[in-house]
């Protein structure tokens, strides 16, 4: 496995000098942050990031993410031109050595949480989603400001988007995803890039907005649209794992055996009775997911892709981007290293 760590570029309070000191750290996962979604990435920006990462003894060979504009997901008349831009970004990334590009197809909002700094009994804080706080909200009527939602939209724009997605529904979203994949995957293949789609977080519809990258049946459908290793998954254990219907070790084993996992996000969640969830420390003991079974499934199927510790808690007084502190993600990386070493030795590698 290729251990990696997400870095938000020069504005990230965590330095590359620190990231390189995490044992076995190989790749920095980042993106070009100086242009809007739907614009071409300047080559100088990609080259600059590559140089910075390499100057710190690591590789910049994986991107997270090249965002997909809403127009593509909605299939508006701008979709075709924006898909061309997307293909150009794949080519440009490949030119600078990128082997894997992460993206998602979540309408309107990326992840959804109700609080970003819920305090646990041990004093650490983490992201949580409590249904109790969600159930009475109606974005078509109320002004909603959930943490992490894109503040570049006005409430009016959010309502228009939600209405538009409501109209196309799940099958409309599928049609637009299929069209997109049929355009971008051949380009990725040509450039030797694996596209890794991140599942919806959480993996079910919220406020009636369709979500389709959610469960095994839908992942099967998605992979069959273009049957190619370039059309692969970013299997995020915490995103898929906050729904009881997903059996994560079994899904990891299946898709890894098919060589359709390009990138693993390893993260722990604690699931509650009513479907609420809390992000917790990476260890199996700390939440609902069996991390040993997940890593064992990867090792036994010969997984050779990228892995990163996903969201960590905030610990030891650290402040910064919720989920993306240094300390707990570094603990996660150390734990992941340990699980891989043990499973590989068990397998006799
Ligand atoms: Mn993730």
pLDDT digits (tens, 9 = 90+) for 201-212: 999 888 888 999
What is the CA(247)–ligand 1 centre distance, in A? 16
Question: Active-site residue numbers?
Answer: 198, 236, 265, 310-311, 324
Average pLDDT value for residue range 270-292: 96
pLDDT for res 109: 81
- Give the residue with greater pLDDT, 349 vs 219: 219
pLDDT band at 137 (very low <50, low <70, confident <90, very high): confident
Domain count, the chain: 1
Q: What is the DSSP string of 168-215?
A: HHHHHHHHHHHHHHHHHHHHHHHHT-EEEEEPPSSSS-BTTB---S-S
**CA of residue 336 relative to chain centroid, distance:** 17
- Average pLDDT over all residues of the chain: 94
Ion ligand 1: protein residues whose beta carbon lies under 5 Å:
236, 265, 310
Q: Residue 330 above 70 pLDDT?
A: yes
Domain that holds residue 204: 2-347
Please check the confidence at residue 151 and state whether its pLDDT lies above 70.
no
This prediction's pTM:
0.96
pLDDT in tens, 76-111: 999 999 999 999 999 999 999 999 999 999 998 878
Query: What spacing in Å lies between the alpha carbon of 310 and ligand 1's midpoint?
Result: 6
64: its two tokens:
């997270």
pLDDT at 150: 64
Q: Which two tokens stand for residue 103?
A: 């993206």
Q: Cβ distance 4 to 43 under 8 Å?
A: no
Q: Is the pLDDT reported for residue 232 higher than 70?
A: yes
The CA-based angle 109-112-114, given to 5 degrees, is 135
Residue 342 CA, ligand 1 centroid: distance in Å? 24
CB 308 within 8 A of CB 5: yes
CA 265 to ligand 1 centroid distance, Å? 5
Is the Cβ–Cβ distance between 104 and 214 less than 8 Å? no
3-state secondary structure at position 324: coil
| Cα(201) to centroid(ligand 1), Å | 8
Q: What is the pLDDT of residue 141?
A: 79
- pLDDT per position as a tens digit, 167-202: 999 999 999 999 999 999 999 999 999 999 999 999
- pLDDT given at position 349: 66
| Cβ atoms of 180 and 72 closer than 8 Å | yes
Ligand 1 centroid distance, CA of 268 (Å) = 10
Query: Domain of 157: which CATH number?
Result: 3.20.20.150
């Amino acid at each position: 496995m290729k251990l990696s760590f997400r870095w938000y570029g020069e504005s990230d309070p965590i330095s590359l000098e620190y990231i390189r000191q995490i044992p076995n750290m190989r790749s920095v996962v980042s993106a070009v942050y100086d242009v809007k979604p739907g614009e071409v990435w300047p080559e100088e920006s990609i080259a600059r990031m590559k140089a910075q990462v390499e100057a710190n003894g690591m590789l910049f060979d994986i991107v997270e993410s090249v965002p997909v504009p809403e127009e593509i997901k909605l299939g508006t008349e701008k979709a075709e031109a924006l898909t061309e831009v997307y293909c150009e970004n794949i080519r440009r990334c490949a030119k600078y050595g990128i082997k894997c590009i992460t993206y998602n197809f979540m309408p309107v909002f990326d992840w959804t949480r109700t609080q970003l700094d819920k305090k646990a009994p041990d004093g650490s804080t983490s992201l949580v989603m409590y249904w109790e706080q969600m159930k009475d909200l109606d974005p078509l009527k109320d002004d909603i400001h959930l943490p992490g939602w894109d503040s570049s939209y006005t409430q009016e724009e959010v309502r228009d988007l939600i209405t538009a997605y409501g109209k196309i529904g799940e099958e409309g979203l599928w049609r637009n995803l299929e069209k997109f994949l049929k355009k971008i995957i051949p380009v990725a293949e040509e450039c030797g890039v694996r596209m890794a789609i991140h599942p919806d977080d959480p993996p079910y519809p919220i406020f009636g907005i369709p979500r389709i990258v959610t469960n095994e049946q839908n992942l099967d459908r998605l992979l069959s649209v273009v049957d190619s290793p370039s059309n692969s998954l970013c299997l995020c254990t915490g995103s898929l794992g906050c729904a009881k219907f997903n059996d994560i070790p079994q899904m990891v084993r299946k898709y890894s055996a098919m060589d359709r996992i390009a990138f693993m996000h390893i993260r722990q969640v604690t699931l509650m009775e009513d479907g609420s969830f809390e992000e917790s420390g990476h260890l199996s003991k700390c939440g609902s997911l069996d991390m040993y079974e997940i890593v064992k499934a990867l090792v036994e199927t010969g997984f050779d892709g990228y892995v990163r510790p996903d969201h960590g808690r905030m610990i030891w007084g650290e402040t910064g981007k919720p989920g993306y502190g240094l300390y707990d993600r570094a603990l996660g990386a150390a734990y992941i290293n340990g699980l891989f070493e043990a499973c590989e030795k068990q397998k006799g590698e």
